[in-house]
Structure 1
Amino acid sequence: MTVTHRRYVPYAHAHYGGSLVDGAYTLGLFGDVATEVAIRGDGDEGLLAGYSEVSFLGPVQAGDVLEASCEVVRVGRRSRELRCWADVVARAEPERGPSAARVLAEPLRVVTAVATLVVPGAPEQVTVR
């Protein structure tokens, strides 16, 4: 199962020069996507317990449109291993004007991670549709 959320990165989240956004912003998006994975697969919000791997591959900037995705790669009795990634699909172009932006021809992969999602033991599993 793969789940994807798309989110605009507001300028209020820029903390660094060049309108850069901290890495925790994207990790928070992974948490939201993992919650949907747990709801769809287990009928419970579960808990994103941790990351075994995180790679920051490029900048996330205010004005970006991000796609954050998680794919279930391993299912245990009470845990799920997730492969997560975030792509910039649109980016602001302030050099063209204060509200200028463009959709990227190809998504730009900016973060990857491997996460562990824990779900409570349940008497029956929910069927994914």
Structure 2
Amino acid sequence: MTDAPADRDPREGLTVTHRRYVPYSHAHYAGNLVDGAYVLVAFGDVATEVCVRTDGDEGLFASYSDVQFKAPVRAGDVLETTARVVRVGRRSRTLEFEARVVCRGRPDKGESSAEVLAEPIVAVTATGTVVVPPAE
């Protein structure tokens, strides 16, 4: 966690990052594209870890207030998803999400070729709300 001013909840600013390989079995469209729901599932996974770390509970995803699909995610990518706590309510937590492609398959160079990208590609951003049980 980061240092927080006295008037701010110390859970604000907590950031959790996951990485996962996008398997070819998830490609649904031409060009080995995966559907946007794949990234939303990844956001749900990273949000679950945030809830465990902040509240000792897996929590429940309540809603997204914004989702922006900015670049394609393809089979063969390594996707990095990050969630950051931006607001802490009594039972709700507002999170900002970002999914970045950090490695990409290069089938044009060979069927198992891939590369680490010099600059990650921001593929999806979102803002969402999770809820946790009331503190005892």
Instruction: Tell whether 2:99 aligns with 1:83.
Output: no
Q: Give 1:4's aligned amino acid.
A: T
3-state SS of paired residue (1:12): helix
CA-based RMSD: 0.4
1:35 and 1:48 map into 2 onto residues whose CA distance is 8
3-state SS of paired residue (1:116): strand
Tell me what 1:120 maps to: 133
Q: What TM-score do you get using the length of structure 2 for normalisation? A: 0.90
1:7 and 1:88 map into 2 onto residues whose CA distance is 10
User: What stretches of structure 2 of length at least 5 have no aligned partner?
Assistant: 1-13
Tell me what 1:29 maps to: 42
Matches within 5 A, 1:5-84: 5-84=18-97
User: What stretches of structure 1 of length at least 5 have no aligned partner?
Assistant: 124-129
Q: Give 2:17's aligned amino acid.
A: T
Q: What TM-score do you get using the length of structure 1 for normalisation? A: 0.95
3-state SS of paired residue (2:122): strand
C-alpha deviation, 1:93, in angstroms: 0.4
Tell me what 1:127 maps to: none
2:22 and 2:100 map into 1 onto residues whose CA distance is 12
2:105 and 2:31 map into 1 onto residues whose CA distance is 12
Q: Deviations over 1:75-105 (max 9, x none)?
A: 0000000000000000000000000000000
3-state SS of paired residue (2:120): strand
Q: Give 2:134's aligned amino acid.
A: G
Number of matched pairs: 123
3-state SS of paired residue (1:44): coil
C-alpha deviation, 1:18, in angstroms: 0.2
1:28 and 1:65 map into 2 onto residues whose CA distance is 15
C-alpha deviation, 1:122, in angstroms: 1.7
1:108 and 1:16 map into 2 onto residues whose CA distance is 20
4+ aligned runs moved over 4 Å, structure 1 = none
Identity of aligned residues (%): 66
